[in-house]
Amino acid sequence: EVQLVESGGGLVQPGRSLRLSCAASGFTFDDYAMHWVRQAPGKGLQWVSGIIWNSATSGYADSVKGRFTISRDNAKNSLYLQMNSLRVEDTALYYCAKEIKKQWSRDGFDIWGQGTMVTVSS
Amino acid sequence: QSALTQPASVSGSPGQSITISCTGTSSDVGGYDFVSWYQQHPGEAPKLMIYDVSNRPSGVSNRFSGSKSGNTASLTISGLQAEDEADYYCSSYTSYTTLGRVFGGGTKLTVL
């Protein structure tokens, strides 16, 4: 079964750090670009960051640029999001998502995890 | 980078057809054929319904179709069913940032 499972969320104070993980299974992980998408409570979807299959290229939304770092370990079939200098407005459910086409980086996301909740509050 | 513009809500009766619009710019919707549509039921992860403007992933009903004209993409659902009631989000690749995507604000579909 193709599956993505996120972990690492929790309650954290403003200014602190958190590292999210996403474990992939059921497909050849290193064939696909991967992304993080978040959804604040009661709000819409927001793209956060993406990384291509071989880690050579990554991108970030303006709201997280310079604070968040995306990475992947293809040997471990895992995607990560290091989140530093967290703000109250980063509070959201964070999903990892897989692109539908191999080695491409502009397509839709066909597999999503169930998300991990990050709450930034003092 | 501004979000794509979608209507906040649409509604229709069972068996009818509805269309949800999604308006962007030449840097996203209008510039590339990389528009996707997602369905999200409460408490669930989004589900890909359309990609590359008009392609359906395996397993998605052919009642769902997509199109694009200029800077506006559209999702049409025909033969509305009760289980279609959900939030729908459009998304597009954007040249604003590397690997970037932009989402619409979401449209709540109510099946009357």
Q: How far is B27 from chain A (nearest CA, A)?
A: 13
Is residue B2 over pLDDT 90? no
The rounded distance, in Å, linking the Cα atoms of B27 and B17 is 30
Is residue A110 over pLDDT 80? yes
The rounded distance, in Å, linking the Cα atoms of A65 and A17 is 15
What residues have CB less than 8 Å from A74, skipping those under 6 apart?
A29, A30, A53, A54
Residue-wise pLDDT tens digits, A52-95: 999 999 999 999 999 999 999 999 999 999 999 999 999 999 99
Percentage of chain B with pLDDT > 70? 100
Is A61–B97 a contact, with Cβ atoms under 8 angstroms apart? Answer: yes
How large is the average pLDDT for residues B2-14? Answer: 96
pLDDT score for A105: 77
Interface test with A, best of B34, B87, B101, B103 (most A CBs within 10 A): B101
Of A6, A16, A37, A7, whose CA–CA distance to A88 is shortest?
Answer: A16
Nearest chain A residue (CA) to B100: A59
Is B100–A113 a contact, with Cβ atoms under 8 angstroms apart? Answer: no
- Chain B residues near residue A61 by CB distance under 8 angstroms: 1, 97, 100
> Mean pLDDT, chain A, as a whole number?
97
> Mean pLDDT, chain B, as a whole number?
97
Is B101–A58 a contact, with Cβ atoms under 8 angstroms apart? Answer: no
Is A62–B97 a contact, with Cβ atoms under 8 angstroms apart? Answer: yes
Please report the number of interchain residue pairs, chain A to chain B, with beta-carbon separation below 8 angstroms.
82
Is B51–A108 a contact, with Cβ atoms under 8 angstroms apart? Answer: yes
